[in-house]
Amino acid sequence: MAGDLAFRPGLGGGPPPSGLLAFLAAGAVGRLGARLLPYALGYALSYLLRSANAVLADPLARDLGLSPAALGGLTASFYLAFALGQLPLGGLLDRYGPRRVLFPLLLVAGLGSLLFALGRGFTLLLVGRGLMGAGVALALVGAIRAYQLHSPQRMGALSGFTVALGGLGGLLATSPLAYAGENLGWRGAFLLLALLAMALALLGLGVAPRDPLAGEDRLGRGPRGGPAGMASRAFQGKGSLRRGAGSWRGNGVVAAMGLVAFAYIGGFFAVQSLWAGAYAYEMGLEGSWVGRWLLVLNAASIGGGVLAGVLAGLLGTGRSLGMGVALFSLGLVLWALGAPLPLAYALVGLGGGFNAMVLAQTASLAADSAGRAMALVNVTGVSGIFAIQTSFGLAVERVGYPVALLGLALFQGLALVGAMRIHREALGRGSRP
């Protein structure tokens, strides 16, 4: 694994500090750390908005008389808009930069939350929820693109911290958001989220560093100057996205990293969002204990994000990604073999917390086409969630949890091997005259 380019240190390699320490160290030598922080906060906000319906579902359904199908439709509209926004918005990200795209989109998310808070009919609620999904569609992709442009040597470390902060956003979307709903009502809670999104958008527009235009480095020079120019020239020599972001045949980076995203991101979020809880109930645990073991998994994923940043700073984003997939697979295997559930869930969460390294490594390899590349890879990851949730359920019905878990672990290894082969072949094609 480590010998292939798909798992070598990318732009995130080297000895710089990681995670929160990277932000603090950057702040000690200048204002860059504080100016990049709104990007990480944007991803935490996306977690809050994503989970809000689940936490406030009961008062929302009772107040408006929504059926389970209607409530499910509202939730699905968020993910549909999120997925549909990836490709067109990813192109804008490359052309105009994350600051000009991401923070205006957060204003859209704030508008969606406001419409949802004020909505009296199902149509307006549907539009509001969809605008929330579109508004945070590039939260993680845009953050990683910003780190690549403004702090490339810390990109992997900052990406890991961002995922960890997103996990904290997920924790806020539990008891704290439920408390807000109890005291302010569900409309008041969504109004609060709208104000938070708009305030963060304005903060980002005010303090985030200026992005270079397409073809410039972060000092405003053309592609032949500075680190961005060197990365661009090096990437051109490897026959990749520079030859057409939409071509899977000529785009080994997207094909290889997309395969990893489908298996790894899809597998982790399928387990985290559904099957970890379903298995615990299958084992006869009561709801309170299920909640505790899911808390173990989610807390471990926050730690995984921090650890991913540390390893990315020391070894590079590629090797950090490989270690994350290995930890996730080990957790699945131990789970299948009957290891204590807290240990298995902790390893699954810890390994899954490395998931930002998929996009960070994509950005490292894709250079100035990183926005489109990450958007394409992100789409495959989202597709993987739905596909694996469904196929895992079918496998459980036929062969039971242990075999299904071992199959998912095996899929991780096959995806890594397949990704390395795809990328090697793409490099070979690119080197031919």
**Structure token pair of residue 249:** 């045949």
Least confident of 31-45, 109-123, 182-196, 393-407: 31-45
CATH code of the domain covering residue 312: 1.20.1250.20
Say yes or no to pLDDT of 433 above 80.
Answer: no
Residues 378 and 316 in one domain: yes
- The answer for residues whose C-beta is within 8 angstroms of residue 396's C-beta and 6 or more apart is 275, 404
Total residues found in the chain within this entry: 433
H helix intervals, 9-154: 19-29, 32-55, 57-64, 68-84, 86-96, 98-118, 122-135, 139-150
pTM, full prediction: 0.73
Residues 177 and 250 in one domain: no
Q: Using one digit for the tens of pLDDT, what is the confidence trace for 349-389?
A: 999 999 989 998 988 887 667 788 888 898 899 888 888 98
DSSP category for residue 153? G
Rounded distance, CA 362 to CA 220, Å? 23
Asked if residue 349 lies in contact with residue 272, where contact means CB atoms within 8 angstroms, the answer is: yes
Query: 179 pLDDT band (50/70/90 cuts)?
Result: confident
Does some domain include residue 224? no
Does some domain include residue 225? no
Q: Using one digit for the tens of pLDDT, what is the confidence trace for 105-134?
A: 999 999 999 999 999 888 999 999 999 999
Q: Using one digit for the tens of pLDDT, what is the confidence trace for 233-282?
A: 333 333 344 444 444 443 678 889 999 999 999 999 888 877 888 888 88
Does some domain include residue 221? no
Q: Using one digit for the tens of pLDDT, what is the confidence trace for 165-176?
A: 888 887 787 778
Rounded distance, CA 104 to CA 194, Å? 13
Residues 173 and 262 in one domain: no
Boundary (domain end) residue, out of 165, 198, 215: 215
Residues 424 and 357 in one domain: yes
SS (H, E, C) 3-27: CCHHHCCCCCCCCCCCHHHHHHHHH
Residues 195 and 258 in one domain: no
Boundary (domain end) residue, out of 215, 233, 266: 215
Residues 78 and 128 in one domain: yes
Say yes or no to pLDDT of 26 above 70.
Answer: no
**Structure token pair of residue 215:** 């073809």
Instruction: Look at residue 213 in the predicted model and tell me its pLDDT.
Output: 62
Query: 214 pLDDT band (50/70/90 cuts)?
Result: low
Residues 265 and 318 in one domain: yes
More confident residue, 105 or 89: 105
Rounded distance, CA 195 to CA 187, Å? 12
Instruction: Look at residue 429 in the predicted model and tell me its pLDDT.
Output: 55
Does some domain include residue 240? no
Rounded distance, CA 398 to CA 338, Å? 19
Residues 251 and 190 in one domain: no
More confident residue, 431 or 124: 124
Residues 179 and 277 in one domain: no
Instruction: Look at residue 45 in the predicted model and tell me its pLDDT.
Output: 94
Does some domain include residue 135? yes
Asked if residue 125 lies in contact with residue 187, where contact means CB atoms within 8 angstroms, the answer is: no
Share the mean pLDDT of the chain. 81
Instruction: Look at residue 20 in the predicted model and tell me its pLDDT.
Output: 54
Say yes or no to pLDDT of 346 above 70.
Answer: yes
Amino acid at 115: L
Q: Using one digit for the tens of pLDDT, what is the confidence trace for 35-67?
A: 889 999 999 999 889 878 777 878 888 888 888
Asked if residue 90 lies in contact with residue 376, where contact means CB atoms within 8 angstroms, the answer is: yes
Please give the residue range of the domain that contains residue 126: 12-215
Rounded distance, CA 331 to CA 346, Å? 8
The total domain count for the chain is: 2
Residues 273 and 205 in one domain: no
Does some domain include residue 1? no
Average pLDDT over residues 295-320: 90
Asked if residue 137 lies in contact with residue 130, where contact means CB atoms within 8 angstroms, the answer is: no
Does some domain include residue 140? yes
Residues 249 and 190 in one domain: no
Helix (H, G, I), strand (E, B) or coil at 336: helix
Residues 184 and 255 in one domain: no
Q: Is the dihedral of CA 229, 230, 235, 238 positive or negative?
A: positive
Does some domain include residue 234? no
User: What is the phi/psi pair of residue 263, to 5°?
Assistant: -75, -45
Instruction: Look at residue 9 in the predicted model and tell me its pLDDT.
Output: 41
